[in-house]
Structure 1
Amino acid sequence: MPGTTAADVGRRRDGRLRLRFDGWIAGIGTSSGTRVVLGYWVRSPFGPFSDVMLERKGGHRVLLAPSAQTARFVAGTYLFDEVRVVPVGVEVGRGEWTVAASPLDLRFVTGRRGPMGLLLRAVPGPLAARPAWAVMTAPAASALLGVRTHGSARAGRYEWYGAKDLRPVIEARAAYEGEDLGSLAPVEPAVRFGFGSTPRRPCVVGVTTTVALEGSRQAVPAR
């Protein structure tokens, strides 16, 4: 999964800035009730980075972000009860992912692509990255995966998710603050970070996420 540090910042005709993030989103449930959403961004306006959003069984929502800048941006887009700035390291190799983001340790394994993954891979990348494509595919994504591909976020922001790949997660183990979170389970109940959602079945999705900021005066992240 080659990466790049190039920023991707555009502007709509109405003057609103558009920020684009290319990478992967993993949604994983555990038998303890904790649900984990990993963002692994190989290209973004902040350079390559990873962040973790997790919701505990009791509903406590936590963001683990690698810098104050990324923490401010993600927390300005989604809802959290707690935000921690910690190193977030991700290693990927031959279908096995290892995530070290104190207080979270996570390892999971992906399986072979199913029909949905093969279908998404067949869509040309530039087309899948367009917000208009996310709007067009919204009904199918809702019916087949139970997810939304576009919608409003915090602070007047708007998001589009263009999926380009999908692999099932077939094995996972995680610990949070030293507590074993149990075995792999469906992502239920659905996470409550705001607009963002993941399929009920644990999976990793290749995606281009576009975020339109409210107003033209918001600062563009440093390149």
Structure 2
Amino acid sequence: MTARRRFRGRIAGVGSGSGVRVVVGWWQESPFGPFADAMVETADGHRVLLAPTQEVADLVSTTYTFDEVRIEPVEVLAGSADDDAWVRSWGPSSPSLTLTLEVGGRTGLGQLLRLVPGRLATSPAFATLTDPVARVALRGVRTRGVAQAGRREYYGATDVREVTAMTGSFDGTDLGALAPVDPPCRFGFSSTPRRPSVTEVTTTIVETRT
């Protein structure tokens, strides 16, 4: 039997002057209800998952690879939104991580994605079609992949906005100024774009259950 699960939300990917790179997932709709999680890679390559529940940690850690998993509350404090319902300021926070992200205008890629009908853009078939393009155009980015136990995952992006500024700390150490996500994060089959950004995305997980 084949089962599908869908997660709809936004993913922010940023680098920092300290060399720490952070990926924050803010999910408005999911089988677990609304939640946020974060993946952190330090300058020396230590990869940490911050997950709000064991259930979320189990799913993410069987999709990506981490050196450490921490179960702790992850919240996102949101600022005001523009006419397209885009939040201009994010405030992801947990006992380990605090961030303030300022979100700017739509990128060139975001403008192209807005031309694709949402139903098509979020379909696994379209993610399969665009994967070879994403590999070439966006270093480290994939729109599909295979996780443990043969579980297939598809990422359907519908918009991208730039991140223009960032402040924050990880484990009490200041992250420094906003920087490119370089080198790409090594969590698994896909990273975020090199340019700090927020991507609106629908993730579809397909798995075979016996």
Normalising to structure 2: TM-score of the pair?
Answer: 0.92
The secondary structure found in structure 1 opposite 2:135 is helix
Amino acid aligned to 2:163? V
For residue 84 of structure 2, what is the aligned residue in structure 1?
none
Equivalent of 2:132 in 139, 142, 146: 139
**CA-atom RMSD in angstroms:** 1.2
Alignment partners' CA distance in 2, 1:16 and 1:55: 33
What CA deviation, in whole Å up to 9, does each residue of 1:188-221 have, x standing for no partner?
Answer: 11111111311011100000111122x314xxxx
Measure, in 2, the Cα distance between the counterparts of 1:115 and 1:196.
21
| Structure 1 range deviating more: 147-156 or 49-58 | 147-156
Q: Which deviates further from its counterpart, 95-104 or 145-154?
A: 145-154
Structure 2's unaligned 5+ residue stretches are 81-87
The match for 2:186 is 192
Tell me how far 1:93 sits from its aligned partner.
Answer: 2.2
1:165 paired to 2:159: yes
| Larger mean Cα displacement after TM superposition, 114-123 or 67-76 | 114-123
Give the count of matched residue pairs.
Answer: 202
TM-score (normalizing by structure 1): 0.87
> In structure 2, what residue type is equivalent to 1:98?
G
Quote the offset at 1:169 in angstroms. 0.6
Q: Is residue 79 of structure 2 the alignment partner of residue 93 of structure 1?
A: yes
In structure 2, what is the Cα distance between the partners aligned to 1:155 and 1:83?
20
2:7 aligns with 21
Report percent identity of matched pairs. 52
Partner Cα distance (1:187, 1:175) in 2: 16
- How many Å separate the matches in 2 of 1:196 and 1:101? 24
Corresponding residue to 1:43 among 11, 18, 29: 29
1:6-85 correspondence runs (5 A): 15-85=1-71
